[in-house]
Structure 1
């Protein structure tokens, strides 16, 4: 007699009655018509016994909801009427217990049938009740059907089919299956059989959620196992997780929440407990993985960006996570996602500290041939360029991280960092500090060059590379135009010092006034000095490298302006002063065009001095 004490029923009998069934409730509690009782029981018995699988082979192999939607709704209405009658019989102490027992027997048969139908609809419509179909359907038909309230003429059914005609066939089937499930759930809950209904739902849907999570590559894994993984293996798992969290939040859990809310809309407590039991384990497993990664001891450079990717993913989906897992019973899921965010932010800070330490500890003394780019410069700027792409996330992570480094940097350095429009002063300070650490390291490495001019070229090359990477990335928005301008000025200073030291003796070999009158001997001596100094400078500088095209042109223009232009005037004025043609060939080894050609070949990193030596040898030989 369990249904007589249905404690799980969420609405009272009088609240759940439809207007068309009000005749039962309007009958006086004592002395209501015996014929009405018999009529209600007979009507219910006719359809319930027709679909009794114990007595009918047809009912055993046929689905009521699949065979006839109209008859299925009639079955539901008969069960609801039977339940209302049982409530009246219980409240009327003078009624006969025989009718109550008969009604109870019919109710048990009906509930058994509805359990079978509920299980069958869930099982047969797995493809149509997948989270993606449910999510799509929900935005178009949610709230359109109250499931159990089908009219006698089937108008609600036709209304749903009309909606279905405007969407895909899959969505239509999904919509109908959800409505059927709600009809059965409402009926069973009202009849005191909520436990049986929920049990079936939980078993089937939890399996679907767990299967979905597994197919997305999420598995239960311990921290010790994570710690023992090679980075390449762990990196693949992180990539799988990044894809899985997107599908899980937007489709898997969202679809399940929608389905659960729809089917059990009659009871807030049931839909909450049901969804919590189905999704809690899988969701906690999903959002617990980032915490394990954050705690792992492996810290290759790529880990920083994977950690930031995971932090970004949870942050972007946080509103959906809060909405889907809004129940108190699913608060553990929200807490796990939040705790993973905390651990990921701690990992980012730790990785930034480790990265700075790596730069600080670099003690290599190997000199870069030709004063080119140091690998440390390339590595750090690539790292910071990628890091700047996460500036919006880094604002949150390091907003409350004390800028202890600031005390080690001149105040003027910070005044030039960023601008009034800078969105992230904290991250700008951190990045500016890391660049300053690099520049200090480069300054110490430049001192290893025996040729001072080469050390200046080395500094100019590396600082220009830093600025170039800043200009083409989000670093420019963080550091600001003023920072870029000040460091460009330093590049110009380094380049000017290189030109002065490397080519100064060439400049000095020419008279300050190239058009001043000279004796033939003085002119010959001046040409001789220039030849010697230019050959020496060219030979030394032929191996120099300037990777940046703009800087290369700037240096060439600077040299050309001080050498070629002055030599052109001297050449035009004193070529005839040297003497006859043989003397000209002997002392005037270069025409102005030759100098321009030679300079154009400099700073490529692959200029050979063989051609230059051959030209000089040919000139001397022809003169002899």
Structure 2
């Protein structure tokens, strides 16, 4: 208001340069001349001259009062701070006097550029700036615990960045802070942190306005960059080059990856977010300074943080690395909105680029490893068979791997989106057809995982032919497909592949089991008459019993070493065998195994098994015991020993 009372004279001439040069002289532009006004008499100063003189005298009194001997020292030793709770009013007056002094200097540059008053004002301003420089440093150092990124980020929403535009608002901030201090609902950490930020903002605005931005920024960058570097060190973030990572054993690198995964969320959501908030608050008066400060204190640490996944992605690719690569991709992908927001400045675009490149390199890695995985399945050349037709190691490995992949279905869908599925070698039409017209497989990753399972099942078909016994081949296929279906049911694969896929393959398991029963017990069934109750000669009856005994003992003895690991499938097969054979044998046994043959001397050697015996024998099948049968010599006892 004071400046509005007086219109400075204009002569149409450019005022001479001041002997004292500083930044603010270059930023001030005098008003355009509107006419000639006679200069004031030196004996009768104008009202504006009186006000400017008063501003200088007030500033001299306050600035000199706080100019201790320690201020003459260039070091930042502890000083009696203007900005503590006991001197809040003095701090307001000090900043107000600096503003008044600045106005006086601008006036003197225009109207009395060679006067001693300007030199005196400039000296006072230098003293004041030196004092504020030390105050700025001390607030940053003494409030380090209250200005840590975690504290700043937790209450950032209470003070939007750039909420104050001039250090003349310091008094309003202080009133607000005092009212907050009286509110017990606000934690002490937040109260102290907000007060410190308000003080720093007021000092920064005063120094920037007076042309001392460089000194203020230098202090801020040095202190806050050391805090970021120290925080990253404690989080376990290391500055590793690609050459260092490449030389690491996988076990060592995996530990480094785990440490990085534990650190990334805290680093982004707390450390860099808090630093961005603090920087925006302190330098709210200047967007350029905010950007410059934040870029310089954060860029180096951020590049080390986001460059690590990219360097890992450049290393040799093996299947066991897949899940750590997915972990790295997921971590960066999930945090991308925050990364993009925090490092939104043009000067920090390189940080965004490194994070994006990490995602690109990691996704390329995943695609390569998926292709290599399918190729490795197809090229599996192991010739050994599993004893008893059990679950093959390839089946266990592949299905466990694919089940783990299903846990990453969300990010895998993003990675394989737009990546066409190419079939390197033809599959049987019956298999490939299961990928087509599958309504439940709407996502690219569902089709991709179904394809990997099909590649494995085709490989198992080839391994089944290595068994000399056809029945055992079918049992092998039933066991392995049952394991596949079980893994799908127990994992997220069920939701990816769908109920139709599960039901279709369960039917295939039953078909394999039925083929096993038909091939493995066909001789036993063939030894019995088509019509077990029809009247036939005694010789044919004897022949049927002899053939049955021989076929049953042969099949049973051979199959005691066969296995069915899945309890449900094992019970289903046994139940099916009982329903297939025992009813026919029981009718035949009851018709001809009684009095009609008791007249023969060798009756006990002919009728070796009762119907109950057969059920007892079958109950011991498919455990892989490998024991042989010793039949009872008397049908009346209905027992057997081993």
Q: What's the TM-score, normalizing by structure 1?
A: 0.89
CA drift at 1:270 = 0.2
CA drift at 1:588 = 2.7
**Matched residues in 1 for 2:148 and 2:30: separation?**
34
CA drift at 1:162 = 4.6
Partner of 2:206: 187
**Matched residues in 2 for 1:7 and 1:256: separation?**
33
Partner of 2:40: none
CA drift at 1:301 = 2.3
Unpaired segments ≥5 residues, structure 2: 1-18, 32-44
Tell me if the contact between 2:52 and 2:107 (Cα under 8 Å) persists in the aligned partners. Answer: no
CA drift at 1:498 = 0.8
Partner of 1:444: 462
Which of 149, 162, 167 aligns to 2:169? It is 149
Are 1:228 and 2:247 an aligned pair? yes
Q: Which moved more, 1:140-149 or 1:534-543?
A: 140-149
**Matched residues in 2 for 1:538 and 1:13: separation?**
112
Q: Deviations over 1:238-270 (max 9, x none)?
A: 111112211111111111000000100100000
Change (3 A) 1:144 1:304: closer
Partner of 1:491: 509
Match of 1:578, SS? Answer: helix
Are 1:379 and 2:397 an aligned pair? yes
Q: Deviations over 1:279-324 (max 9, x none)?
A: 1111111111111111102x33221111111111111111111100
Partner of 2:582: 564
Tell me if the contact between 1:585 and 1:619 (Cα under 8 Å) persists in the aligned partners. Answer: yes
Partner of 2:65: 50
Number of aligned pairs? Answer: 599
By percentage of residues, which structure has more helix?
1
Which of 400, 414, 428 aligns to 2:418? It is 400
Are 1:266 and 2:281 an aligned pair? no
Match of 1:127, SS? Answer: coil
CA drift at 1:46 = 2.3
Change (3 A) 1:128 1:45: same
**Matched residues in 1 for 2:138 and 2:363: separation?**
47
Q: What's the TM-score, normalizing by structure 2?
A: 0.87
Change (3 A) 1:160 1:185: farther
CA drift at 1:504 = 1.1
**Matched residues in 1 for 2:381 and 2:614: separation?**
40
| 1:114-263 map, 5 Å | 114-142=132-160, 146=164, 148-151=168-171, 154-162=174-182, 165-263=184-282
**Matched residues in 2 for 1:622 and 1:467: separation?**
39
CA drift at 1:32 = 3.5
Tell me if the contact between 1:50 and 1:56 (Cα under 8 Å) persists in the aligned partners. Answer: no
Tell me if the contact between 2:318 and 2:369 (Cα under 8 Å) persists in the aligned partners. Answer: no
Partner of 2:122: 104
Change (3 A) 1:518 1:410: closer
Tell me if the contact between 2:632 and 2:638 (Cα under 8 Å) persists in the aligned partners. Answer: no
Tell me if the contact between 2:605 and 2:633 (Cα under 8 Å) persists in the aligned partners. Answer: no
Which of 86, 90, 93 aligns to 1:74? It is 93
**Matched residues in 1 for 2:250 and 2:462: separation?**
34
Q: CA RMSD in A?
A: 2.9
Q: Which moved more, 1:111-120 or 1:520-529?
A: 520-529
Match of 1:563, SS? Answer: helix
Q: Which moved more, 1:110-119 or 1:594-603?
A: 594-603
Partner of 1:39: 54
Partner of 2:16: none
Q: Deviations over 1:27-76 (max 9, x none)?
A: xxx9344442332222222221222132789x963222124222222211
**Matched residues in 2 for 1:2 and 1:259: separation?**
34
Are 1:598 and 2:598 an aligned pair? no
